[in-house]
């Protein structure tokens, strides 16, 4: 049994922390919105702040929405850094700036502790089913130490490189996901407008080269009109902002990523910041004045 900490208990963090508790680990918990009873009932221990979590744990996981939130959790008043002692490991599973991640890692390393950036892909379903893809940046030794814990939360676990490289992989992942959502939305909208049954078209495409996880999961969402998150549009917007900002620094053009971001922006303008990101199709539907489902 290991002494672990978990900070950030939203739709992703709650099931992820639950898997650690179910495996028999002692888990200290904190979340800005409060610790869910399902975790304390299972044996998790609620803490007053992130500092208290860090004091009680040898490995501290966090998953919060954006770069400023990670910085506040790590280095703010009663943050993780205030409760660390040499030899502990901090694992950030949020999706944030690769550049900021390198700075956060340096500051944690200066305290005699290890740092892994380990963003995830797979959404709420992957978190609930312990089937997340986990993209890790950090040292081989730290990765090897934490890997058995990653395996309680995910299936495809890859050490990409040094600190920041996990976040870079996640940004790349979010580019691919956004463009696939856009492609599936266009295809199903085209099929429906042409008079075909989009559900049957999706079924046919699932057996061919156009098959994808996005077509399988989000194509069904588009047809059934089930746009409760999932993964909120506002969070995917944040990830694409990271992609576009870093691309600008690198001198790389990402034209279709920019288009996908504009479609998300249109959804937000219609009150959709909290919609599942599959609802990008709604922006396409507004342009066509026609709905898929």
How many C-beta neighbours within 10 Å does residue 20 have?
24
What is the percentage of the chain residues whose pLDDT exceeds 70? 100
Distance of CA 56 to the CA centre of its chain: 26
Q: Do residues 267 and 219 touch, judged by C-beta distance below 8 A?
A: no
Positive or negative CA dihedral for 189, 124, 161, 167?
positive
Per residue in 79-134, pLDDT (tens digit) is: 999 999 999 999 999 999 999 999 999 999 999 999 999 999 988 889 999 999 99
Q: What are the distances in angstroms from CA 42 to CA 38, 154, 174, 203, 207? A: 6, 20, 33, 40, 41
Catalogue the active-site residues. Answer: 170
Per residue in 9-19, pLDDT (tens digit) is: 999 999 999 99
Residues 6+ apart with CB under 8 A from 292: 185, 188, 189, 192, 198, 222, 223, 281, 285
Q: Please, is 11 exposed, middle or buried when counting C-beta atoms within 10 Å of its C-beta (0-12, 13-18, 19+)?
A: middle
For the chain, the first-to-last Cα distance in angstroms comes to 49
Reported pTM? 0.91
Question: Quick one: which of 70, 212, 63, 67 has its CA closest to 150?
Answer: 63
């Amino acid at each position: 049994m290991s002494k672990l900490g978990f900070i950030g208990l939203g739709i992703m963090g709650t099931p992820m922390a639950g898997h650690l508790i179910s495996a028999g680990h002692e888990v200290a918990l904190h979340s800005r919105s409060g610790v869910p009873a399902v975790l304390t009932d299972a044996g998790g221990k609620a803490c007053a702040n992130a500092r208290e979590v860090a004091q009680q744990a040898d490995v501290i996981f966090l998953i919060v929405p954006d770069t400023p939130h990670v910085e506040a959790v790590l280095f703010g008043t009663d943050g993780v850094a205030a409760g660390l002692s040499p030899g502990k490991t901090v694992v950030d599973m949020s999706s944030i700036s690769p550049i900021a991640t390198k700075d956060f890692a340096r500051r944690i390393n200066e305290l005699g502790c290890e740092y892994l950036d380990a963003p995830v892909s797979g959404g709420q379903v992957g978190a609930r089913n312990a089937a997340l893809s986990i993209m890790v940046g950090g040292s081989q030794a730290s990765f090897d130490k934490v890997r058995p814990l990653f395996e309680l939360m995910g299936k495809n676990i890859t050490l990409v490189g040094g600190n920041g490289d996990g976040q870079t992989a996640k940004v790349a992942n979010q580019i691919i996901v956004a463009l696939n959502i856009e492609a599936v939305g266009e295809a199903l909208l085209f099929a429906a407008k042409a008079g075909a049954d989009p559900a049957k078209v999706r079924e046919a495409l699932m057996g061919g080269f156009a098959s994808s996880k996005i077509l399988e999961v989000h194509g069904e969402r588009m047809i059934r009109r089930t746009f409760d998150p999932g993964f909120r549009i506002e969070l995917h917007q944040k990830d694409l902002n990271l992609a576009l900002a870093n691309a600008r620094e690198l001198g790389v053009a990402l034209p279709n990523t920019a288009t996908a971001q504009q479609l998300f922006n249109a959804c937000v303008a219609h009150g959709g910041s909290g919609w599942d990101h599959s609802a990008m199709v709604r922006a396409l539907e507004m342009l066509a004045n026609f709905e898929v489902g």
